[in-house]
Amino acid sequence: MTESDCEPDFTDPEGKLISTTENEATDEQIDSETYHRLPSYRRNYTEADLYPTEKDPRCDPECSLSYYWPVYVSNLRVLAINATFKEVSEYFAYKGLLVKAVLLRGMTDELYRECQYEYKIVDLLVYFTSKKDAEDAIRYCNRETYYGSRLNVLSGRDPDYFDNERSFRIKQLSSSSLYKTEDFYERPLSRYGKVELLIRHTPTEFVVQFVSKADMISSLCQMNKFVMTPLTGPTRKQRYLEEDVKTLLHKRIRFENFLEMRPEEHIMQALREGKQPQVSLRWQKYLKPLMSRRQVKKLATSKKYLERVKMIRNERKLLGQNTQYTPTESTRTKLLEIEENAQNFLQKMGVNPADRIPCHILARVDK
């Protein structure tokens, strides 16, 4: 049996950890805490919209990219790197927006190579077919939660700059900081002041901007585990813009049919009809950032987890003994409840359902 074959053994038989009021994302929480906003209208797209004719005046008119409008998206948690375009196009299609192409820099980028690939927290350029779609993506998706992590959605061509009066740079000298995400820093900072934006610029540096100077001062007074320095000059919010990756873009256009990407047919059909496509909305249900495989393994070795697994296995064994291993209707119902609670608890903890906890770790509870 491989790692991917082993299902996590997590449930809540007493019902203490799976409660709507404390752990599940209710409609009220989705509206007030996670900001899942939708445009007030839905445009009816046509096949011709995939190949627009209006050019962006900021671009070289001879460049094929001048027909498209990019936004920069960071702190995006993808379930699978090779399915990035599918996940991104489905997310924006849910908002009523047509995605033409997605640029992920890949292994040539130091931050991607050292951090993003391992934890699947990426930044990328997302291309839309009209200026209004790009503006709506920024308006409705910036700072929205996606699998529990806050998205940053900014212009992909024009630089935006931090306000130095209410921003500072965070630096961690420990090598372990390579595996910390934006949320690792934002969540404790948000306890003392409202964070407006936090973006990772290098493997060891982040820049944070607060809603007000008072929020920044409050956080500075309370936090002492980070190395924080003020910004001394213009600091761009976007880690990179289209201009910074033009060589890579032209290479992708020439050799990889970059501008031939298109959403799946059922997505296109819904967009043509001005309807909301049938896509997974699992990303809405996470109140905490989705765990990476490394974090799941760390959780699986914790004492709390091992004790929980042992308790559940004992319960299953006792259930089997009481029914003399004959699967009655009540037994099947009970086991289904256990598995359902397990899935709910894992989702609440931020565990990716696609990740599996290694069987050699689960085996320790029997020793």
Structure-block tokens of residue 201: 């610029």
Topology at the third CATH level for domain 27-159+238-284? Alpha-Beta Plaits (3.30.70)
Q: For 36, list phi and psi in degrees, rounded to 5.
A: -85, 90
What b/e readout covers 56-89, taking b as 16+ CB neighbours within 10 angstroms?
beebeeebebbbbbbbbbbbbbbbeeeebbbbbb
**What is the C-alpha to C-alpha distance for residues 348 and 17, in angstroms, rounded to an integer?**
9
Equal fold, 27-159+238-284 vs 164-230: yes
Residue ranges of domains in the chain: 3-23+287-366, 27-159+238-284, 164-230
Mean per-residue pLDDT over the chain, rounded:
79
What pLDDT does residue 303 have?
Answer: 67
H helices, E strands: number in the chain: 13, 10
What pLDDT does residue 349 have?
Answer: 57
**What is the C-alpha to C-alpha distance for residues 239 and 59, in angstroms, rounded to an integer?**
20
Overall average pLDDT of the 267-289 stretch: 90
Overall average pLDDT of the 290-303 stretch: 69
Task: Check if the beta carbon of residue 60 is closer than 8 Å to that of residue 115.
Answer: no
Q: What pLDDT, in 10s, does the model give residues 335-358?
A: 677 666 666 666 665 655 555 444
Nearest in space to 186 (alpha carbons), one of 164, 170, 166, 162: 170
Predicted confidence band of residue 299 (pLDDT cuts 50, 70, 90): low
With a cut of 70, say whether residue 71 has pLDDT above it.
yes
Overall average pLDDT of the 196-223 stretch: 90
The SS3 of residue 38 is: coil
**Listed range (75-84, 182-191, 225-234, 294-303) with the worst mean pLDDT:** 294-303
> How far from 44 is each of 6, 173, 271, CA to CA, in Å?
44, 51, 6
Predicted confidence band of residue 290 (pLDDT cuts 50, 70, 90): confident
What pLDDT does residue 6 have?
Answer: 36
Does the domain at 164-230 match CATH 3.30.70.330? Answer given as yes
Share of the chain above pLDDT 90, in %: 48
Q: What pLDDT, in 10s, does the model give residues 29-60?
A: 433 444 578 887 788 999 999 999 999 999 99
Amino acid letter, residue 66: S
Run of H or E residues at 111: helix 110-111
